[in-house]
């Protein structure tokens, strides 16, 4: 059959709503850069004009033309070995969006997809199409689905009132002030236009969504939300780190086995919980400084742009400032923690470090029998949430910026013990901290708990456990863990485990 006819039939089989979503996913705002074939040319016309004309004219002609152009580009594209291009990236995103929306063109060359995945050095696990979807765009899709046409129309009215933001933007004028978002697919086009416009204006990104939240907050709840949804519910969904679908993220496990009883069990437990959470996992046993440098270099590869989070377990002996590696050399803990968050592939994404090692030799010792049978209670006070807002600073958009980010932002570091203290372990099971952390994370899948909630529970749980030194003194002591957080959003554990696809190569 003629290719033109095939493309026409394919487009005619897609609903307007899915066309709008496919266009949105295919014009992803945060494509990695620099890449071969990319440039600094403004893509404003390509990403916003088709949406603007569709909303204004209630006609999907320009979106259809965009999708035809994409398909034709991919049809003529020759995959160049070893060199990752912008088209490679776009091809994978386009395919994953089609797969997600169940609109894969029957004539799309899946062998090319497999060849591109080879260039990205993707493992079998990483060839799951869900990895290629941008989790932030999936969250925005759900926000759109939660709003009625009237709600998106009210957002548009609120945006149009910000004269400083929209001044001189031609696509804003194309749409006009008053919009009828009720025809099928127009609500989606208008919402996605608002999102892409704010992203291009550097007002929102995958972490900073305050400007979008403020637009939604101005909507009238009774007329703007789909059944069962509220304005608070919709805004809250934007306040979590986007980690939709499989995989939940990439997990790196580094464990020194030599001289550490139970270290093998630590690896088994952390691997089990990371896979249970839907992470793709890599393990390094007995790491050295050279190993760490090689891992950092590996994480800079383009394929890691597709991951939505990064978790690292580092388990070894240590003291107040350093950690002992497999070859007996030491590395500064601070150096380790500051070198990983700066890796560009994980910028604006949550990065969690579990640092499991002693940080000294001190112990919170419990002497004699005085602690036996004792319990403690504390009073909880209800603190009112109302604040006196008069005389508060008026922080305007002119003094806000989301372009420059401190490297440690969006990072959380969880320590198995406090400074200058021991980190306890069992001869047969390894670190008690690792054991309890894995148990609590496993128990809280499907409960909608955040990572920090679990870490707080872990702090309580661990501090209840009486431990005993293995030397001749047999001192009974307690261990206290803690974490330092630079998070700007909440990181929730997945509600359900997302298993990998049965077919690892490009799905048929």
pLDDT in tens, 258-293: 889 899 999 999 999 998 888 999 999 999 999 999
pTM score: 0.84
Backbone φ and ψ of 240, nearest 5°: -110, 150
What mean pLDDT comes out for the span 444-458?
A: 86
> With 50 as the cut, is the pLDDT of residue 118 above it?
yes
pLDDT band at residue 344, thresholds of 50, 70 and 90?
confident
Tokens of 434: 């690792």
The per-residue pLDDT for range 236-263, each reduced to its tens digit, is 999 999 987 788 899 999 999 988 989 9
| Number of Cβ within a 10 Å radius of residue 76 | 7
Give dist(CA 476, CA 105) in Å, integer: 66
Beta bridge partners of 314: 254, 355
Give residue 505's pLDDT.
40
Query: Which of the two residues, 420 and 366, has the higher pLDDT score?
Result: 420
The reply to whether CATH 3.40.50.1460 applies to domain 249-364+406-486 is yes
> With 80 as the cut, is the pLDDT of residue 215 above it?
yes
Closest of 276, 278, 290, 272 to residue 250, by C-alpha: 278
pLDDT band at residue 401, thresholds of 50, 70 and 90?
confident
Give residue 472's pLDDT.
76
**Ranges 88-97, 176-185, 459-468: which has the least confidence:** 459-468
| Contact assessment for residue 154 and residue 219, using Cβ atoms and an 8 Å cutoff | yes
**Ranges 3-7, 38-42, 131-135: which has the least confidence:** 38-42
Tokens of 404: 């420059």
Give residue 497's pLDDT.
53
DSSP 466-487: -EE-SSTT--EEE---EEEE--
The per-residue pLDDT for range 34-63, each reduced to its tens digit, is 344 444 444 556 789 999 999 999 999 999
pLDDT band at residue 375, thresholds of 50, 70 and 90?
very low
Domain segments of the chain as ranges:
1-29+43-239, 249-364+406-486
| Integer CA distances (angstroms), 75 to 24, 101, 375, in order | 21, 20, 71
Mean pLDDT of the chain: 85
Closest of 122, 124, 125, 114 to residue 305, by C-alpha: 122
Give dist(CA 186, CA 180) in Å, integer: 8
Longest dimension (CA), the chain: 88
Give residue 380's pLDDT.
29
pLDDT band at residue 297, thresholds of 50, 70 and 90?
very high
Closest of 349, 285, 281 to residue 312, by C-alpha: 281
Task: Give start and end residues of each alpha helix (H) in 300-395.
Answer: 333-339
> With 70 as the cut, is the pLDDT of residue 80 above it?
yes
Beta bridge partners of 330: 324
The per-residue pLDDT for range 458-484, each reduced to its tens digit, is 998 898 888 888 777 788 888 999 999
Burial class (CB in 10 A: 0-12, 13-18, 19+), 447: exposed
Residues 6+ apart with CB under 8 A from 276: 441, 442, 445, 497
Give residue 145's pLDDT.
97
Closest of 196, 209, 205 to residue 235, by C-alpha: 209
| Integer CA distances (angstroms), 295 to 59, 283, 301, in order | 50, 10, 10
Task: Calculate ∠ Cα 169-400-135, nearest 5°.
Answer: 75
Q: Report how far Cα 29 is from the mean position of its chain's Cα atoms.
A: 15
Burial class (CB in 10 A: 0-12, 13-18, 19+), 391: exposed
> With 60 as the cut, is the pLDDT of residue 357 above it?
yes
Closest of 127, 129, 248, 249 to residue 504, by C-alpha: 127
Closest of 229, 135, 148, 234 to residue 186, by C-alpha: 148
Instruction: Lay out the sheet containing 351-356: strands in order across.
Output: 279-285, 249-255, 310-315, 351-356, 411-415, 482-485
Give residue 386's pLDDT.
36
DSSP 8-class letter at 48: H
């Amino acid at each position: 059959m003629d290719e033109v006819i095939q493309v026409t039939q394919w487009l005619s089989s897609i609903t307007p709503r899915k066309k709008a979503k496919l266009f949105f996913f295919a014009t992803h705002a945060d494509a990695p850069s620099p890449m071969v074939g990319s440039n600094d040319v403004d893509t404003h016309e390509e990403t916003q004009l088709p949406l603007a004309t569709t909303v204004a004219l209630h006609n999907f002609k320009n979106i259809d033309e965009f999708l035809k152009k994409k398909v034709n580009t991919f049809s003529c594209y020759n995959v160049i070995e070893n060199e990752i291009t912008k088209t490679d990236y776009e091809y994978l995103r386009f395919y994953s969006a089609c797969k997600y929306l169940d609109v894969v063109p029957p004539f799309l060359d899946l062998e090319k997809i497999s060849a591109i995945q080879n260039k990205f050095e993707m493992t079998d696990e990483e060839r799951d199409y869900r990895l290629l979807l941008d989790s932030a765009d999936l969250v925005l899709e759900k926000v759109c689905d939660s709003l009625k046409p009237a709600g998106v129309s009210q957002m548009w009215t609120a945006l149009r009132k910000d004269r400083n933001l929209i001044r001189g933007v031609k696509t804003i004028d194309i749409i006009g002030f008053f919009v009828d978002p009720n025809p099928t697919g127009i609500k989606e086009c208008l919402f996605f236009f608002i999102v892409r416009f704010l992203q291009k204006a550097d007002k929102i990104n995958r972490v900073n969504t305050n400007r979008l939240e403020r637009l939604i907050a101005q909507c009238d709840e009774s007329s703007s939300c789909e059944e069962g949804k509220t304005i608070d519910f919709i805004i809250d969904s934007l306040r979590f780190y986007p980690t939709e679908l499989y995989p939940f993220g990439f997990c790196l496990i580094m464990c020194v086995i030599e001289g550490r009883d139970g270290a093998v069990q630590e690896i088994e437990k952390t691997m089990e919980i990371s896979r249970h959470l839907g992470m793709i996992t890599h393990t390094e046993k007995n790491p050295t400084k050279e190993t760490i440098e090689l891992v950092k270099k590996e994480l800079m590869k383009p394929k890691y742009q597709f991951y939505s989070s990064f978790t690292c377990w580092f388990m070894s002996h240590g003291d107040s400032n350093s950690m002992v590696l497999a070859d007996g050399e030491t590395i500064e803990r601070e150096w380790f923690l500051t070198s990983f968050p700066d890796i560009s592939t994980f910028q604006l994404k949550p990065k969690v470090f579990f640092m499991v090692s002693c940080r000294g030799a001190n112990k919170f010792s419990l002497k004699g029998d005085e602690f036996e049978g004792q319990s403690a209670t504390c009073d909880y006070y209800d603190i009112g949430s109302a604040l006196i807002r008069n005389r508060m600073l008026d922080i305007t958009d002119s003094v806000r910026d989301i372009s420059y980010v401190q490297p440690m932002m969006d990072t959380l570091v969880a320590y198995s013990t406090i400074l200058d203290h021991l980190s306890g372990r069992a001869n047969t099971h390894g670190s008690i901290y690792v054991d309890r952390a894995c148990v609590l994370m496993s128990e809280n899948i499907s409960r909608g708990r955040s990572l920090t909630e679990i870490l707080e529970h872990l702090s309580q749980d661990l501090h209840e456990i009486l431990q005993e030194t293995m030397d001749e003194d047999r001192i009974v002591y307690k261990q206290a863990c803690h974490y330092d957080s630079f998070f700007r959003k909440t990181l929730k554990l997945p509600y359900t485990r997302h298993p990998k696809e049965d077919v690892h190569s490009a799905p048929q």
